[in-house]
Amino acid sequence: MHELSIAMSIVELAAEEAERRGVKVEAVHLKVGALSGVVPGALLSAYELACEDTPLQGSRLVIEEVPIVVYCANCQAERTLDSMQLFCCPVCDTPCGDVRHGKELEVVALEIP
Ligand SMILES: [Zn+2]
């Protein structure tokens, strides 16, 4: 399962950081882009599994979903897309392939009591 291996690497990373600082992690904040291929709901359940028997057991995963943002050369502006099927500027309808956001899959913060 794709999400489980991602969850495990997040837990591993957070556990290492917690150990190095000698603290307990209460929550992990993660940015998940709409194009990252990760299903937030599935990742949440995978995270619980991955936390079992680790120093992160009982911690929370907080997911911040990042929408798809493309750069429209015609408008010379960044545009947020509502759908990932249509890579067209929502304002002028020009096809846009220049993705600026939405591929994120990164830990942004660890919450420590
Ligand atoms: Zn445009």
d(CA 85, ligand 1 centre) in Å = 17
- Predicted pLDDT of residue 1: 54
d(CA 100, ligand 1 centre) in Å = 14
Per-residue pLDDT for 25 more than 90?
Answer: yes
- Predicted pLDDT of residue 113: 86
**pTM value?**
0.86
d(CA 22, ligand 1 centre) in Å = 50
d(CA 34, ligand 1 centre) in Å = 20
Which whole number is the average pLDDT over 88-111?
Answer: 95
Q: What is the 3 state secondary structure string of the chain?
A: CHHHHHHHHHHHHHHHHHHHHCCCCCEEEEEEECCCCCCHHHHHHHHHHHHCCCCCCCCEEEEEEECEEEEECCCCEEEEECCCCCCECCCCCCECCCEEECCCEEEEEEECC
Per-residue pLDDT for 70 more than 70?
Answer: yes
- Predicted pLDDT of residue 31: 98
Q: What integer best gives the mean pLDDT of the chain?
A: 94
d(CA 30, ligand 1 centre) in Å = 30
- Predicted pLDDT of residue 86: 79
